[in-house]
Amino acid sequence: MKKPLIQCLAMAGLMMSLASGWAQTAPIKIGFIGELSGPTAGVGQDQLDGFNLLLERNGGKLGGVPVQLIREDSQLKPDVANQAVRRLIEKENVAIITGVSFSNIMMAVHKYVTDKEVFLVGSNAGPSQIAGSQCSPYQFITSWQGDQAAEAVGQYARDKGYKKVFVLAPNYQAGKDIVAGFKRYYKGQLADEVYTSLTQMDFSAELSQVSAARPDAVFAFFPGGLGVAFAKQYAQAGMSKNLPLLSTFIADALSMPAIGDSALGIVSGGFWAPDFPNAQSRQFVEEFERKYKRIPSNYAAQSYDAAQLLDSAIGKVKGNVTDKKALMVALKAADFKSIRGDFKFGNNNFPVQGMHIMQVAKDGSGRLNLKTVSTPFKSYQDAYASQCALK
């Protein structure tokens, strides 16, 4: 009678050991949501590729733990994005959601995700509301608050002595934030302030307005395919020859090949460029170009940093992402080497970082690339942090 009992106990012990092993090796589910179709798909794809670069280098693991990355295409539609995050949280039981390409999508999903106490590690969109009064301890943004790059360009325009600037942007949250940022530091006259549809690809009417206004320079923000269309039409109208084009993310690694040599001389503000000299940036650029056969954009860079942040934080909690307090502390510590150099989170869990001015030029390989020319702001916190109740 004792032998079967001993065998049963041994079998039970074996099953418990197996169960423990399965628990330890079960992958952490992370949801990725971004624009993966339509004219702005390049933004989401670069975010995805940047994240996957580190994930694949680590053998499919973050923090030494296997990860299952579940992709969702938000299609630049808030209702589709809402359905996607509900599916990720309620059906897939993800512990973390990353990506989020556009601010209207972020505003659509932010409250639901953070109210569910799912960590939202955003790698592009940074609307003013979530940097300010609607901030959450469950958000960690590895990109920039929407005003910051434009603030640097506004300071640049001021330093250059431009007395009258014509401003254009799409009519959505990021467009409004970016224009607000430009105006915060540019103190000259605005020739006009024009907002277009987020899907508009023909800018002939707006360019006629620019020509009639006779400004000293143009400041414009158009992401993804919109920026390509705008820059090409700007050059075709003959404006690029004698009317400086200042921008945020019109000229980047995604758009420059499509714009062609007409992009030369375009000024852009941002937190990072491929010519940054630190070792981690060089490694990122080299590996990205080797794997994807193209220059990485800022979208890829900030998503790579999102993966680095998660790699560090998941490692600190030894893969136990259900311990939300510990994971929150680990994320806040931001204990990783950012491609931009120094990195830390402000009280609102947005980066405190330098903001730079870049200009399109030919690199050593004869390719269109961004060259860093100045740094208007160092260790700079966004304008909305004081409205966030977090400490």
Q: Which residues contact 33 (CB under 8 A, 6 or more apart)?
A: 71, 72, 73, 74, 81, 84, 85, 88, 97, 98, 99, 100, 105, 109
Mean per-residue pLDDT, 241-258: 93
Whether residue 17 is predicted with pLDDT greater than 70 in this model: the reply is: no
- As a whole number of angstroms, the distance between CA 110 and CA 210 comes to 36
Label residue 22 by pLDDT band (50, 70, 90).
Answer: very low
Q: What tens digit of pLDDT does each residue of 42-92 get? A: 999 999 999 999 999 999 999 999 999 999 999 999 999 999 999 999 999
Fold (topology level) of 26-144+276-345:
Rossmann fold (3.40.50)
Average pLDDT over residues 219-243: 93
Residue 308: the pLDDT is: 98
Size of the chain, expressed as the number of residues it contains: 391
Instruction: State the pLDDT at residue 199.
Output: 87
Q: Is the pLDDT of residue 20 over 70?
A: no
What is the pTM for the complete model shown?
A: 0.89
- Just give the CATH number of 148-270+357-380: 3.40.50.2300
Take residue 81 and report the two structure tokens written for it: 């994005």
pLDDT at 368 over 60: yes
pLDDT digits 0-9 by tens, 326-344: 999 999 999 999 999 989 9
Burial class of 331 by CB neighbour count within 10 A (0 to 12, 13 to 18, 19+): buried
Which pair of structure tokens corresponds to residue 293? 């056969």
Task: Label residue 114 left, alpha or beta by phi (over 0 means left) and psi (-120 to 50 means alpha).
Answer: alpha
- pLDDT confidence of 21, banded at 50, 70, 90? very low
Residue 18 has pLDDT above 50, yes or no: no
Q: Give the pLDDT of residue 330.
A: 98
C-alpha distances out from residue 269 to 104, 235, 256, 358, Å: 21, 20, 15, 6
Average pLDDT over residues 93-98: 98
| Cβ atoms 29, 95 nearer than 8 A | yes
Distance in angstroms between the alpha carbons of the first and the last residue of the chain = 64
- Mean pLDDT calculated for residue range 196-201: 92
pLDDT > 90 fraction of the chain, expressed in percent and rounded: 88
What value does the mean pLDDT take over residues 152-157?
98
Could you give phi then psi for residue 49, rounded to 5 degrees?
-65, -40
Same topology, domains 26-144+276-345 and 148-270+357-380? Answer is yes
- What residue spans define the domains of the chain? 26-144+276-345, 148-270+357-380
The radius of gyration of the chain's CA atoms, rounded to the nearest angstrom, is 23
pLDDT of res. 198: 87
